[in-house]
Structure 1
């Protein structure tokens, strides 16, 4: 196929899910936490990041082994000055001078330190460190200026959505009144003056799991839905993620800071949770993160700031077995500690071309493309979609879709195991392979997704492209 034709055809396929195809695409990074006793070494992690095409990572400290491992990798990194050092950083620039000398200068620029996150969710810190935040940020910046690296390293701080007093509708977003004068306004002033950005930790999972009677799962997972209209300005929101971010933008606008940008410092969805953690599942985690990556990398901002690209850091790189709290806290990882994927989603723009879209179920816009150069791929059923949805998609694939379903008929080679998931997987894969693994051909309205290892259902062998 002519390369130019493929480009325009692929762009046409993406049109329904791109707010503005002329907007710059955003970036996707990942949070690298290390609260686990079975995690790979930092050099191994760097090789994993490079193999996955991940070029941005965020840390929760300035660990020397990690920063050394990142040296020369081309991966930019956000480091952190932890909450327990805020009071010292606020009290004296000599402290931040020493901190920069010890934790930044020995590594940068061979290790590309992009920003320093001063504290993390300080407003909910039980140690009451809020009053130290802005003075600490100013001292860190002054130290960067002193050592002539302020032009290449931003100073910021991640805030939780709990800093908002009002978040619905998004246009009514406002910060908690007791935070505005003491810390929010001075912090935003500092960010504006230094050309930095506000970091925001946004988790639609928490809002959904606590309000399943009011929030639809499709809306939370960035899947195709009718959307919600903001009654104040008429803007239509197709995802809870966009609504949350615009609530923060509205809160900043209300204070006169409509030119300060946002970076989403944490967002994710757990692949496992306790019984009361509604929605925590592998299928939902794959849908949320996969759709969010597609949303970010195909361009377009939020309804309130359409022309500003979204830049996000997914949480998290690994499942961390030493994290306290509910089961979900230990199951946000994209990877297991053995470096195997928890689920298969694209993490780069290159990966999007051959990935399934869980945003909609259209099968009319098919773009043929050759097999991925990185190895074979197959299409399998998403058990989390439920048997009714799988059966509907199975009927389509074997009927109008033209999949070869002879092998799953009674007595045939792939009839056993006789389950909807197994039969649907075979039919979906046949449809996917027959359409040359075209983008969008392994979707079925969220009932299917792509895997990189041959499916195992009894002794059945799944065909690949060209067979």
Structure 2
């Protein structure tokens, strides 16, 4: 990092109290469950509460999950899956039953605030025409229980619904989607005072065009920015440019008074060789910088006064998702509830993460040493790349005492990555007085209460 960039970045992270008091956006998280190793819903609720998360989006209406969230104070967006769209569009009695079974018993206890009717239906021409009729029937069913003014209805579209997106001012929807899908849905949203749900992933755009798109521009890092040739507005992040392309597309259809909620966005911490940019540090940078951007207020260049409401994807790495490696590595948490990397999820957490590589989340402002003796060791589930990144940072910028793990020194044996990373992580952790957040290293480490055993090496407990 160049010296000229550092002051700018520091000023961005160390925000004033007045900035935090401004009209800010909200961060939520998508809770997907395509996995066989996730914690129970009750434990998930406990995890979310410890992290200060107050908004969650689900992909169904599983009764066990909804019960677990009852009286938790966490608001829920639930979903009517794509496979139910045809039936929901064709039959009011179907949606009456669906609402009676999946919504009414859980309101208001589980704080249901929105229903996503389908998901990215624009990619499947076989179901797009069913979306708005299904939304209308669900709305009519909610009216029967006087819930229509309490629960919003919308349907997430993917960014691929746009025909043009660059420059943002030229944003337009695909012609073939207008009559069967986009226009009827926008009319419904306006009529019911709802909002457009959009899934936006700058990762896909960057990965496919890394030779043309700056990584810093995609990750909200300091960059030269891009000036829209159509309206002269300057964009400093690809995410905001994408949102404004959707706004421009809606404006072109005379729906310029609708709000957008980003129902999915994220960046994978791992990917296949051809998935350019998929990495832990990039994921931490994207989600962390986006969260700070949302929580410090303001909107996009085209809608500067509309705070950003965003749901990060996703809560956990989901090991049974099909597709490329990235699909199983969007999580903020491992299934064991350890963080993959550190991301501020509330305004109070902004500034807690140090200005350091994502492999080291070492900068909590709260220094409260835990009682008793504790040590920081490597999390073997994190994988070699994450462990090596953390080891390199700890022994380099972190200034941990790594002399004992050099060849021939007292803790060189066993000469394994796990052993060496554990020693380095613990050295840094003890040096920082075991303060909160100093044993994370992007999910590569965790705290233990028994002295680590690696050969005859003795791990220090303080400096």
- Which of the five TM-score ranges fits, normalised by the shorter chain? 0.7 to 0.9
Question: For 2:434 and 2:40, how far apart are their aligned partners in 1?
Answer: 38
Inter-CA distance 452–356: structure 2 relative to 1 (3 Å threshold): farther
Question: For 2:329 and 2:398, how far apart are their aligned partners in 1?
Answer: 33
Question: For 1:327 and 1:451, how far apart are their aligned partners in 2?
Answer: 19
SS at match of 2:107: coil
SS at match of 2:79: strand
Report the Cα offset of residue 287 of structure 1. 1.3
Contact 1:33 1:59 in 2 (8 A): yes
| Count of aligned positions | 431
CA shift digits 1:245-304 (9 cap, x unpaired): 111111111111111001111111111111111111112111111111111111121111
Q: State whether structure 2 residue 297 is matched by structure 1 residue 299.
A: yes
Contact 2:366 2:435 in 1 (8 A): yes
Inter-CA distance 70–433: structure 2 relative to 1 (3 Å threshold): same
Residue 230 of structure 2 corresponds to 232
Question: For 1:40 and 1:351, how far apart are their aligned partners in 2?
Answer: 24
Report the Cα offset of residue 27 of structure 1. 1.1
Give the TM-score, by structure 1 length.
0.79
Question: For 2:137 and 2:101, how far apart are their aligned partners in 1?
Answer: 15
Question: For 2:35 and 2:218, how far apart are their aligned partners in 1?
Answer: 29
Residue 86 of structure 1 corresponds to 85
SS at match of 2:261: strand
Residue 371 of structure 1 corresponds to 367
Question: For 1:52 and 1:208, how far apart are their aligned partners in 2?
Answer: 30
Residue 61 of structure 1 corresponds to 60
Residue 363 of structure 1 corresponds to none
Contact 1:208 1:217 in 2 (8 A): yes
Report the Cα offset of residue 51 of structure 1. 1.9
Report the Cα offset of residue 149 of structure 1. 0.7
Q: How does 1:212-251 map to 2 (within 5 A)?
A: 212-251=210-249
Inter-CA distance 274–411: structure 2 relative to 1 (3 Å threshold): closer
Residue 445 of structure 1 corresponds to none
Contact 1:164 1:173 in 2 (8 A): yes
Question: For 2:369 and 2:432, how far apart are their aligned partners in 1?
Answer: 18
Which piece of structure 1 moves more, 195-204 or 221-230? 221-230
Question: For 2:352 and 2:375, how far apart are their aligned partners in 1?
Answer: 9
Question: For 1:296 and 1:139, how far apart are their aligned partners in 2?
Answer: 33
Inter-CA distance 304–426: structure 2 relative to 1 (3 Å threshold): farther
Inter-CA distance 164–357: structure 2 relative to 1 (3 Å threshold): farther
Report the Cα offset of residue 437 of structure 1. 8.6
Among candidates 191, 208, 211, match of residue 210 of structure 1: 208
Contact 1:291 1:358 in 2 (8 A): no
Structure 1, unaligned runs of 5 or more: 1-10, 361-366, 442-447
Give the TM-score, by structure 2 length.
0.79
Inter-CA distance 331–252: structure 2 relative to 1 (3 Å threshold): same
Question: For 1:272 and 1:397, how far apart are their aligned partners in 2?
Answer: 24
Residue 270 of structure 1 corresponds to 268
Q: How does 1:319-338 map to 2 (within 5 A)?
A: 319-338=317-336
Residue 254 of structure 1 corresponds to 252
Question: For 1:377 and 1:235, how far apart are their aligned partners in 2?
Answer: 51
Question: For 2:349 and 2:77, how far apart are their aligned partners in 1?
Answer: 24
Question: For 1:286 and 1:78, how far apart are their aligned partners in 2?
Answer: 25
SS at match of 2:196: strand
Residue 36 of structure 1 corresponds to 35
Among candidates 143, 146, 166, match of residue 145 of structure 1: 143
SS at match of 2:105: coil
Report the Cα offset of residue 450 of structure 1. 9.9
Report the Cα offset of residue 206 of structure 1. 0.7
Q: State whether structure 2 residue 318 is matched by structure 1 residue 308.
A: no
Report the Cα offset of residue 462 of structure 1. 8.3
